[in-house]
Each structure stands twice: as structure tokens, then as C-alpha cells.
């Protein structure tokens, strides 16, 4: 199977059935790729778990629970916030972080639909 991209249109050549399928990259694909990138680091997964346990917390509390420097944790928080999985509210000189469950559940549903679709059409070894 080969995959070639031209102007955001992918041509998939299935050599067993000589079948051509065209699919455009949608906004949903781009959004899921952003979520996947944000979730691709183990520290970010741990940060989400910490925030889920604590409901919300200051950056220093997260730093205390991880074997990472404050600046490293801040960079991971920034990436999670960039895609909207977490939000931060200024509380004096500090920022209180929490999971944005509206965005979190949207991401979960998008991945669930993708995996279900792949599972439903899979006829691979």
C-alpha cells in the first residue's frame, strides 16, 4: 500500500484490490493530531492524572509530584493548555490549572470514533 499527499488530498493505492480511495484531511483530523501531539509525552499524561486527582492545582504542587524542574513542568502545561485540554486561571501571582472537561471529552469522543471506524472496517491480518 502506498500513500501520497497532494494539496491535502491523500491517494491510497490498495494493490490487492486495485482500489483507489480519496480522503481529505478535515479539521477534525488536524485537531486530533494536535491532541495526539500534546498527549505524546509521558509527563503530560502524568500531569493530566495529577490534575484529575486534585481537581485543580498550582504549578508548584504539580512540580512537587513529578521528578521534573519547574520550567519543564511549565512547558508541559503550556502545551496541554495550547490544545485546550487544560485551562489556567490567574490567582494572584500564581496560575491555578484544571482539566477543561468539555475539550477533554471532545478529544476522547473523536479518538473513540476514529478507533471504532478503524476497527469496523479492519480486515487486515
What are the structural domain ranges in the chain? 27-121
Q: How far apart are CA 12 and CA 2, in angstroms?
A: 6
Contact 73, 59 (CB under 8 A): yes
Q: Of the CATH numbers 1.10.357.10, 3.40.630.10, 1.10.10.10, 3.90.420.10, which one belongs to the domain with range 27-121?
A: 1.10.10.10
Q: Which residues contact 31 (CB under 8 A, 6 or more apart)?
A: 107, 110
* pLDDT tens sequence across 77-111: 999 999 999 999 887 778 899 999 999 999 999 99
* pLDDT tens sequence across 21-43: 556 778 888 899 999 999 999 99
Amino acid at each position: 500500500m502506498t500513500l501520497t499527499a497532494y494539496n491535502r488530498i491523500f491517494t491510497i493505492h490498495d494493490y490487492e484490490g486495485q482500489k483507489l480511495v480519496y480522503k481529505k484531511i478535515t479539521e477534525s483530523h488536524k485537531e486530533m493530531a494536535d491532541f495526539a501531539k500534546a498527549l505524546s509525552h509521558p509527563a503530560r499524561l502524568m500531569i493530566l492524572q495529577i490534575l484529575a486527582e486534585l481537581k485543580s492545582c498550582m504549578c508548584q504542587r504539580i512540580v512537587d509530584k513529578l521528578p521534573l524542574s519547574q520550567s519543564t513542568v511549565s512547558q508541559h502545561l503550556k502545551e496541554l493548555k495550547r490544545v485546550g485540554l487544560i485551562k489556567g486561571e490567574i490567582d494572584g501571582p500564581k496560575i491555578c490549572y484544571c482539566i477543561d472537561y468539555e475539550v477533554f471529552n471532545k478529544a476522547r469522543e473523536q479518538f473513540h470514533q476514529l478507533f471504532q471506524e478503524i476497527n469496523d472496517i479492519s480486515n487486515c491480518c
